[in-house]
Amino acid sequence: MHSLLKTLEARGELRRVAKAVDPQHQLAAVTRAVQRAGGEAVLFENVTGSDMPVVSNIFGSHQRLCDMIGAGTQTFNERWIALTEACIAAEPGSTTRPATEQEAAGFVSGKLSDLPAITWHGRDGGPYLTSAIFLANDPETGVANLSFHRSQQISDQELRVRLGGTHDLARYQRAAEEKGETLEAALILSAPPEIFLSACASLPYEASELSMAAQIRGEPLAMRKCVTLDLEVPASADIVVEGRFLPHERRPEGPFGEFMGNYVEVGPNHVFEITHVSYRKDAVLHGLLCGSPEDLRPLEAVTAARVYRAVNAAVPGVLDVSCRPNVMISIIKIRKAYEGHAQHVFLAALASHLDYNKVVIVVDEDVDIHDLDDVMWAYLTRGRADTRAMILNDIPGFYRDPKKDHWGRLCIDATMPWGREEEFARKSIPGQDEIDLADWLA
């Protein structure tokens, strides 16, 4: 984390807050203000009630995400797919190694209340760990899994955790619970980018996110043993909370302001019993404002890569995919080759991710898919509005939606009519891309 912060500061992408900040709502309010003002990461050096600083908005920029995975001249999608394929092909055991004595040193034992207790939203039921990455091993294969789950801080002995029903960790917990057993897991906090982004990855069930992290890092991950669990965790993580999920135990958790922009009300959720907490002496807690750019940009990026991979395999001429400004939308750029090309893209996109793709928009190759203004310009100027939009009624949507509020899909063809490219060609100014304003403005 310290290495990452130094890099961000050297690039002018880190703001520091020396003034004391209240972790109840005020820290979140300042984070939101920084995001609106410019999008840099923000480091709170003086958090009331804790000696530990807090950093937020590290992952709030698409360009930073590209840099973190070494995209270079490739798009995020192209680089992410290459990393995913390398992860799947990696030999078991080749992506991790035991940490050296120096790498495993510098940790002290503490308690959960040593960490800043951040309450993010007005109606939240209390402080939450929002960037915690759960590490657990598949009970059958021993393969390690990384995943995000919101965790309400109850006491030094207890967290209450929402496990999404489709996640691998939920599957592990159900298997242990059926046997009346606890499930050991470790919360990884303040991990470097390769760990954080790998936890966002959508991999085959038998693949490990640790292998994905090793591909991003370009070398095997150094792992250290937990103190109270039969687990190993990345030595690069600043903070580790060890514990176990209790079987057949559910307690009230919430409300909490989720990434969709509304509150999830109080419900019975899983109980995580804490057995040990360790952190570096100079640890910085990574806090993530749910539903903010830092939450959405990584989710949008990896979802776009998944959609791109599926659609590109099914339909020719697919150039790129964006899921901004919300993960529920897929904007797909194509090199149009035939009448009905966009409609074929619709079908492939809808099948590529059944939870998302609430809206699918297909555009020509001259449209900026990361700029919704440009996307809507294409829809509004390149043909009729009534015949190029298709509504699909009563199609199930987001998996956490028992009330059907997110059912239904919308598909929009924003491409030029086939065979009329000259008529709808975009106007341009010769030489506009070569202008350097420093040569013209005093």
Predicted confidence at residue 356, as pLDDT, reads 85
Pick the more confident residue, 155 or 141. 155
Residue 109 confidence (pLDDT) above 70: yes
| In contact, 415 and 362? CB cutoff 8 Å | yes
Predicted confidence at residue 401, as pLDDT, reads 61
Q: Which of 42-51, 230-239, 275-284, 385-394 has the lowest mean pLDDT?
A: 385-394
Q: Which of 198-212, 264-278, 391-405 has the lowest mean pLDDT?
A: 391-405
Residues 225-230: contacts with CB within 8 Å, 24+ apart? 226/186, 226/276, 227/109, 227/276, 227/278, 228/275, 228/276, 229/184, 229/185, 229/186, 229/275, 229/276, 230/184
d(CA 271, CA 274): 10
- Please name which of 324, 263, 320 lies closest in space to residue 122, comparing C-alpha atoms: 263
pTM for the model: 0.90
Tell me the average pLDDT of the chain.
93
Q: Percent of the chain at pLDDT above 90?
A: 84
Amino acid identity for residue 228 in this structure = T
| Distances in whole angstroms, Cα of residue 422 to Cα of each of 69, 255, 342, 387, 414 | 39, 55, 19, 21, 16
Backbone angles phi, psi at 49, to 5 degrees: 90, 0
| Model confidence pLDDT, tens digit, residues 313-369 | 999 999 999 999 888 899 999 999 999 999 999 999 999 988 888 999 999 999 999
| In contact, 43 and 284? CB cutoff 8 Å | yes
Predicted confidence at residue 164, as pLDDT, reads 77
Cβ neighbours for 167, distance < 8 A, ≥ 6 positions apart: 147, 149
Three-class SS of residue 333? Answer: strand
Q: How confident is the model at residue 404 (pLDDT cuts 50, 70, 90)?
A: confident
In the chain, what are the domains? 2-291 (2.30.110.10), 315-413 (3.40.1670.10)
| Distances in whole angstroms, Cα of residue 243 to Cα of each of 76, 125, 190, 294 | 35, 22, 18, 27
| Distances in whole angstroms, Cα of residue 326 to Cα of each of 320, 351, 371 | 16, 18, 12
| Model confidence pLDDT, tens digit, residues 37-82 | 988 999 999 999 999 999 999 999 999 999 999 999 999 999 999 9
